[in-house]
Copies of this chain bind each other. A is one copy, B any other.
Amino acid sequence: MSHTIQNKTKLTARVRRIAGQVDAIERALEAELGCADVLQLVASVRGAINGLTAELMEEHLQYHVVEAGSEAERQRGADELVEVIRTYLK
């Protein structure tokens, strides 16, 4: 994940927002909110995690496949992406 400083800052901010959403689930459990409300908060974390996954896959595709420094690196970057795709679609 050494793409660019700018991307790293953006990704870190995104992960911190997800951490905040997870804390909100814990507070909702403490406050004994209704099931439906808690499940809504959990669904929002799931959406944010999916968005983060897409962002990371896109960056990997761009920096480690499209802009790879050699044919060998390009193939390795693609093979890594295939592993991730299989994890998500098994």
A residues within 8 Å of B by Cβ?
Answer: 1-2, 8, 11-12, 15-16, 18-19, 22-23, 25-26, 28-30, 32-36, 38-40, 42-43, 45-46, 49-54, 56-66, 74-75, 78, 80-90
Shortest Cβ distance from A63 into B: residue:
B35
CB contacts (< 8 Å) of A45 on chain B: these are 18, 49
Question: Is there contact, CB below 8 Å, between B22 and A18?
Answer: yes
CB contacts (< 8 Å) of A78 on chain B: these are 61-62, 65-66
A52 and B56 in contact, given A12-B29, A26-B19, A78-B61 (Cβ under 8 angstroms): no
Question: Is there contact, CB below 8 Å, between A86 and B54?
Answer: yes
- Please measure, in the bound complex, the distance between the C-alpha atom of A40 and the C-alpha atom of B25, giving whole angstroms: 23
Question: Is there contact, CB below 8 Å, between B8 and A29?
Answer: yes
